[in-house]
Structure 1
Amino acid sequence: MTTNHTPTDALAYILLLVRERIEWGADQIGGNIPSINASADQLYDGNTHVLDSLCDLIKDVEHIAMPHLDEATYSDGRPIQSRIELEEGCILTHLWHPDPTQETERTFPVQIRRGEAEVTITPPSTMTATITRTLAAVDATEENR
């Protein structure tokens, strides 16, 4: 796709677009103080346009950035993002820093429906998960016999 701007122009635009949209959204949500008789629905409705705008931000950033991305990798071949499925429907993502020297190895626990997983982030581009504890269903009738 041919563009009329450079990747640097796109990055500058994205930076200011994201800043503006998030500052505006934070101001709107922060100013949405419920009155004494306000219902949860009224409070939610007051934030709907802000949440929609923040979701639209994703589309706006993708639209301006995608022409400058050949793949989902940095120029050195590392993935920009890693995803790992901890269990069905539970996906953890990690966004890798563009400067690989800024990443450090770390391990942390993640609660999942069936127990707990231990996730390890290993630079420059590896993410692994191990189920460390599983929850077991106990039949209460069996236990009381």
Structure 2
Amino acid sequence: MRADDALKYALTLFEERTEWAHSTVAVCDDDGHDIGYLDAALCEVEELAMQFGDPQRYSDGRRIKSRAEIQPGFITEHIWHPDPDQEKPRSWHGKLPSDPGVPCPGVYAVATGPTTQTISVRVMWSVLGGAEVTGP
């Protein structure tokens, strides 16, 4: 594995974790610790990675991250390993989001295709009367 690809992979993981921290913890955690320091560190790592070409692609041209929309506003992402031989197909599933007090509108299943760097999404919507309709 090339060092520049490992750096881009680490940057993408760092971006994802920082975004999660900001959306989950807000600016300060329960103990009053400011998580804004993550932004400065992220910028420094990003500046370093930018010296090695497109920060969205590995040196062999593969994407570092893919995204797919499960339903409007509900996105899933996958960060691809810099060594394609280490990447294995993955899958996960869950319930579609709904407002409090509103029944779950259905479920989704996601699968990755490492060779083609694709994310496949299947949505099963619940319909009154027990019938199901399959979405994209």
Change (3 A) 1:136 1:59: farther
- Confirm or deny that 1:123 pairs with 2:107: no
Identity %: 34
**Offset at residue 45 of structure 1 (A):** 6.3
Question: Which residue identity lines up with residue 81 of structure 2 in the other structure?
Answer: H
- Confirm or deny that 1:87 pairs with 2:71: yes
Question: Which residue identity lines up with residue 129 of structure 1 in the other structure?
Answer: V
CA deviation string 1:67-95 (max 9, x = no partner)? 21235221222111101111111111110
> 2:32 & 2:40 partners in 1: Cα distance?
17
Count matched residues. 101
Mind listing any 5+ residue stretches in structure 1 that lack a counterpart?
1-6, 19-41, 139-145
Aligned to 1:110: 94
> 2:29 & 2:69 partners in 1: Cα distance?
34
Change (3 A) 1:45 1:103: same
> 1:134 & 1:56 partners in 2: Cα distance?
42
Give the TM-score, by structure 1 length. 0.56
CA deviation string 1:70-125 (max 9, x = no partner)? 35221222111101111111111110001001011122213322422110111121
> 2:40 & 2:55 partners in 1: Cα distance?
22
- Confirm or deny that 1:46 pairs with 2:46: no
Q: Which has the higher contact order (CA 8 A, sep 6+)?
A: 2
Runs of 4+ in structure 1 over 6 Å off: none
Is this contact kept in 1: 2:110–2:122, CA < 8 A?
yes
Question: Which residue identity lines up with residue 57 of structure 2 in the other structure?
Answer: T
Change (3 A) 1:86 1:43: closer
Aligned to 1:3: none
> 1:80 & 1:43 partners in 2: Cα distance?
30
Larger Rg: 1
Aligned to 2:43: 59
> 2:66 & 2:29 partners in 1: Cα distance?
36
> 2:91 & 2:58 partners in 1: Cα distance?
24
Change (3 A) 1:64 1:85: same
